[in-house]
Amino acid sequence: MPIDFQLPPTAQVQTASPASFDEQYEKARSLANAGQPALALAAYNALLAQSPGNVDVLLGRGIVYTRMERWSEAQLDLEAAAKASPAYADVWLALANLHRGQGRPDAARLDLEKARALGANGAEIDAALAALEPRPAPQTRAGNPEAVLAAGYTWAASLSGSWTDVGSGPRWNDQTASVRHYMKGGSIGFETLRAQRFDQTGHAWALDAYADLWTGAYANIRYQRSPAARLFPANSGRVEVYQSLGQGWEASVADDVLGFDARVNIYGVGLGKYAGNWYVQLRHQNIVSQGSHSNGQRLLARYYYAGDADSYLEATANSGRSDDPLSLSGGRARSGGGSVTWVRYWSDNWGSKVGASFSRGANDARERGLSVGLYRRW
């Protein structure tokens, strides 16, 4: 008897339909807002391949480039979007954010006013314009940029180094890495220090704190330890108290103790004046150790050229005299020098420092130095 054998019906394979353009666009936005810029860029690039010149996609990719501080690429996308759709308020808002990040507040203000005229949210525009207003340099603690931090940040870190040419001798160099936490009423920082001089290398660590005292007063307290005590003193410390005198004046008194084989005390008194975006300070020091006494003066002028408390130009000039009876120059060695420093915050989070110094000591010995630094805050 023949067997009626039938093959089973062919299985029907269901293939997923490709995501629509709108779904891909929403995915790209989600990636951008979730803090995944690389994936967001790839998604926006794929969308532009499908729809070259799409204004929404150019806007989205331009915003991602801005967040990544890839300014030139962000500008190309956002300007192309503005040219294609000049009545699109969101594009002008994005351009304002770009120009603010580039340090062009005047351009950002014009962008915001265009966005307002096109119907953007008035409260959002007002808040953005307020953020563009220059922040005044602090009228207290102006002599200590590390003592206070910009609003919205609680941590800061820095890495710095310097090189000194002493003429006929070997060059000196030193490096410092630090991290500082800011709290209500003060801050505390941890530092590691390294120095190489006279073919020796020394290391040290330090705790450095600022604390509010009574009204208008604060203190800087520091302890530094170097176990090997090669180039740094085995133990050293500082206590300095600052007092606001009103009308932009500030006074300070300090005692630094250096625990070398023979203890050294550095007594200091300073008087500073804040006026507009300027801070000027005159400081006198007496350096006392067993059988030795010297003193010196330093004049410091700092200009907060960006109108905030972050970026500034600084110049110092100093002079001193040593009354050391063991000095080879007969007990009265004179010295002097100066320095210039440029500190610039290139964005809200990143800053840098470049400085140069010159000094002249006994027997016309001359030194030249160069210093650099990198700052990060969050």
Q: Determine the pLDDT at residue 330.
A: 41
Q: How far apart are CA 94 and CA 87, in angstroms?
A: 13
- The mean predicted confidence, pLDDT, of the chain is 83
Distances (CA, A) of 203 to 57, 98, 170, 194, 259: 53, 43, 19, 5, 15
Q: Does residue 108 sit in the same domain as residue 160?
A: no
Q: Which domain holds residue 240?
A: 155-377
Average pLDDT of span 279-283: 91
Q: Does residue 277 sit in the same domain as residue 171?
A: yes
Residue 15 lies inside a defined structural domain of this protein: no
Residue 1 lies inside a defined structural domain of this protein: no
Q: Does residue 128 sit in the same domain as residue 159?
A: no
Q: Does residue 128 sit in the same domain as residue 160?
A: no
* Nearest Cα residue to 373 out of 346, 343, 352: 352
Q: Does residue 365 sit in the same domain as residue 222?
A: yes
* Nearest Cα residue to 221 out of 182, 255, 172, 179: 255
Q: How far apart are CA 21 and CA 322, in angstroms?
A: 78
Given a cut of 50, is residue 148 above it in pLDDT?
A: yes
The H or E element that residue 110 is part of is: helix 105-117
Domain count, the chain: 2
Residue 147 lies inside a defined structural domain of this protein: no
pTM, 2 dp: 0.60
Q: Determine the pLDDT at residue 252.
A: 92
Amino acid identity at 312: Y
Q: Does residue 127 sit in the same domain as residue 227?
A: no
Q: Is the dihedral of CA 181, 175, 208, 280 positive or negative?
A: negative
Q: Determine the pLDDT at residue 199.
A: 78
Q: How many helices (H) and strands (E) does the chain have?
A: 7, 14
Q: Does residue 123 sit in the same domain as residue 186?
A: no
Q: Determine the pLDDT at residue 337.
A: 85
Q: Does residue 159 sit in the same domain as residue 75?
A: no
Measured in whole angstroms, the distance separating CA 77 from the mean position of its chain's CA atoms is 29
Residue 303 lies inside a defined structural domain of this protein: yes
Given a cut of 60, is residue 10 above it in pLDDT?
A: no
Given a cut of 60, is residue 326 above it in pLDDT?
A: no
Residue 141 lies inside a defined structural domain of this protein: no
Q: Which of 128-137, 202-211, 216-225, 328-337 has the lowest mean pLDDT?
A: 328-337
Burial status of residue 170 (CB atoms within 10 A of its CB: 0-12, 13-18, 19 or more): exposed
Q: How far apart are CA 361 and CA 198, in angstroms?
A: 18
Measured in whole angstroms, the distance separating CA 268 from the mean position of its chain's CA atoms is 28
Q: Does residue 301 sit in the same domain as residue 366?
A: yes
Residue 182 lies inside a defined structural domain of this protein: yes
Higher pLDDT: 324 or 116? It is 116
Higher pLDDT: 92 or 144? It is 92
Q: What is the pLDDT of residues 230-247, one digit of tens each?
A: 778 888 899 999 998 888
CATH value at residue 90: 1.25.40.10
Q: Determine the pLDDT at residue 329.
A: 40
Q: Does residue 160 sit in the same domain as residue 121?
A: no
Q: Which of 131-140, 144-153, 188-197 has the lowest mean pLDDT?
A: 131-140
Q: Determine the pLDDT at residue 132.
A: 76
* Nearest Cα residue to 224 out of 175, 261, 191: 191
Q: Is the dihedral of CA 40, 41, 46, 52 positive or negative?
A: positive
Q: Does residue 192 sit in the same domain as residue 295?
A: yes
CATH value at residue 177: 2.40.160.40
Q: Does residue 214 sit in the same domain as residue 326?
A: yes
Given a cut of 70, is residue 323 above it in pLDDT?
A: no
* Nearest Cα residue to 208 out of 167, 162, 138, 158: 158
Residue 53 lies inside a defined structural domain of this protein: yes
Q: Determine the pLDDT at residue 228.
A: 82
Residue 10 lies inside a defined structural domain of this protein: no
Note whether 108 and 96 are within 8 A (CB): yes
